[in-house]
Structure 1
Amino acid sequence: MSNKSAFDAVGHESLADAVVDQIETMIVDGILKEGHKLPSERELSDALGVSRPKLREALQTLEQRGLVNVRHGEGTFIAKLTGRAMSPALLALYTRHGRAFYDYLEYRREQEAFACRLAAKRATQSDKTRLTEILDVMVETHKSADTEASRDADLKLHAAVVDASQNTTLIHMMASVYDLTRQGVFYNRAFLRTMDGTGQKLLTQHKDIVDAILAGDPELADAAARTHIDFVEASYRQSEEQHAREERAAKRKQLAT
């Protein structure tokens, strides 16, 4: 963590309660996310301007509320707050029934277009800097053909756009949706690169999204998000149709021999 802390010194009315309130607010706002490690006890007490006993009292309250996990010898971490969007059984069902994939894309199309519109209106300079930095990483990983790093940057960019929407419900809900993507249940970026040829279309689509947000153009940002998801859907439909044609051709050949 940098020397400039994300935490503010609290007043003296009720120190432990003030610490609890600040950390809860940072969780609601999506600043502190699940799995995030809090600064050390010394760093946090200094940043908040409270004694260590008061800090420990606050952390105990947060732990009792299920918001943090205190791991002795490791530190204090934000607890897992967003449950699975789907149970393991439903995830397996989705993988066996391809039609559900298009419902997933339909949902993402609307939510991400909404997030992009809001981000174009609300993104702060910090949000814009973060988006630009992630896009730079995407450009570099595209050049180096680093598939894993490219996939990671892709997910980070989508999450950063949602963060820039400043809508806390959207931030937490989409975190669960992106977890499905991270698990590889639906969105196979390696497959999309093969449909794309070089991955250049994907990179251009993400650049268009960021450029529209930086320009503060909600309509353009909305359209860029929809174009991206439309490309994903069209690619998968094209693949399915090609697979079906190949199966039919193989059967015709078998019967003709």
Structure 2
Amino acid sequence: MFNNIVNKKVYEKVIEQIQESIFRGEFKKGDKLPSERELSEQMGVSRTSIREAIRVMETMGIIESKQGEGNFICSNINKSLIEPLSLLFKLNNGSWHEVIELRQALELEAVKFASERITNREVMELENIIKEMKEEIDGKNRNEVLVILDQKFHNKISSISKNYLIECLFLTSSKLFEAFIKDAREKIINRYSDERILLNQHIDIYNAIVNKDPNLAYKKMEEHMRLIKENYIK
């Protein structure tokens, strides 16, 4: 399964081989890794290098160590990607224009897939989010809960798309999107003095999805993205 390693930074090569084994499907979520001794023998490296690689992969969220049981491929790898993406965005002085473009790239395709693949159960789930939005606005509750519901609505569309990579990218971008949605909502509401302009756009998107009209769903999401972009850059 593994090859002999002769190189500097041996622990990095150990990590690469384990990652390649995951990509090849030799390891799946929850699978137990061979022991440190077995990995050391198979790769021809010291157990110190193996332990160093394991520690790095634990930090990355790829591996979880269970006391007395061994090392396992993490069963919830998705969550380990959230913080690194947000940190990279900050460290590289990312602009909010980039966040807008990322949302456009993901959401316009996701909404088309969602309108083609939505199930009856998912129709009800999406409808319940819309109902909650209406109740919050009717109760004159302010932005915090509506920000959560806004993000929940868009995350649900990514899930309904049935494309795991799209859903994963939404998840890993969630911290960036949360802050962005909060700011964008405030800017739009301050300009129009009306929460319902955003509610109505979400209703239009919902109706297009449940009517299984991908072209209309794309158009309504495009209008939503345009409203956000026009108001965010002002």
TM-score category of the 2 structures, normalised to the smaller one = 0.5 to 0.7
Residues 89 and 123 (structure 1), Cα distance of their counterparts in 2 relative to 1, 3 Å cut: closer
Which structure 2 residues correspond to residues 14-93 of structure 1 after superposition, within 5 A? 64-67=72-75, 80-84=79-83, 86-88=85-87, 90-91=89-90
SS in 1 for 2:83: coil
Q: Distance in 1 between matches of 2:175 and 2:118?
A: 23
User: Aligned Cα RMSD in Å?
Assistant: 2.8
Question: Which amino acid is the alignment partner of residue 66 of structure 1?
Answer: C
Q: Which of 136, 143, 159 does residue 163 from structure 1 map onto?
A: 159
Q: Deviations over 1:104-143 (max 9, x none)?
A: 2122112101000000000111111110001100111111
After the TM superposition, which parts of structure 1 deviate over 6 Å for at least 4 consecutive aligned residues?
20-24
Would the aligned equivalents of 1:120 and 1:216 in 2 still touch at CA under 8 Å? yes
AA paired with 2:208? A
Residue 224 of structure 1, CA deviation:
0.9
Counterpart-to-counterpart distance in 2, 1:119 and 1:79: 21
The change in CA–CA distance for 1:190 and 1:92 in structure 2 (over 3 A counts) is: farther
**AA matched with 1:201:** I
Q: Secondary structure at the match of 2:194?
A: coil
Deviation for aligned residue 1:23: 7.8
Match of 2:188 in 1: 192
Cα shift at 1:193: 1.6
SS of the residue corresponding to residue 121 of structure 1 reads: helix
Q: Would you say the 8 A contact 1:82–1:173 is kept in 2?
A: no
Within 2, Cα distance between the matches of 1:130 and 1:195?
31
- Once the two structures are superposed, the pairs formed by residues 226-237 of structure 1 within 5 Å of their partners are 226-237=222-233
With over 3 angstroms needed to count, the CA separation of the structure-2 counterparts of 1:218 and 1:150, relative to structure 1, is same
TM-score, normalised on structure 2? 0.64
Matching residue of 1:128: 123
Q: How do 1:143-222 and structure 2 match up within 5 A?
A: 143-146=138-141, 147-182=143-178, 184=179, 187-188=182-183, 189-222=185-218
Residues 175-223 of structure 1: CA deviation (Å, up to 9, x unaligned): 11222122x2575122322123111111011111110000000001111
Partner SS state of residue 180, structure 1: helix
Give the equivalent residue in structure 1 for 2:108. 113
Consecutive unaligned residues in structure 1, runs of 5 or more: 1-19, 25-56, 69-77, 240-257
Separation of aligned partners in 2, 1:87 and 1:124: 32
Alpha-carbon contact 1:212-1:221 (below 8 Å) kept: yes
Percent identical pairs in the alignment equals 21
Report the TM-score, using the length of structure 1 for normalisation.
Answer: 0.59
- Indicate if the aligned counterparts of 1:101 and 1:186 stay in contact, CA closer than 8 A: no
- Deviation digits for residues 53-98 of structure 1 (CA, Å, limit 9, x no counterpart): xxxx9xx68x711225xxxxxxxxx873434363536326547xxx
Going from structure 1 to structure 2, the CA distance change for 1:234 and 1:129 (only over 3 Å counts) comes to same
Aligned-partner residue type, residue 132 of structure 1 = E
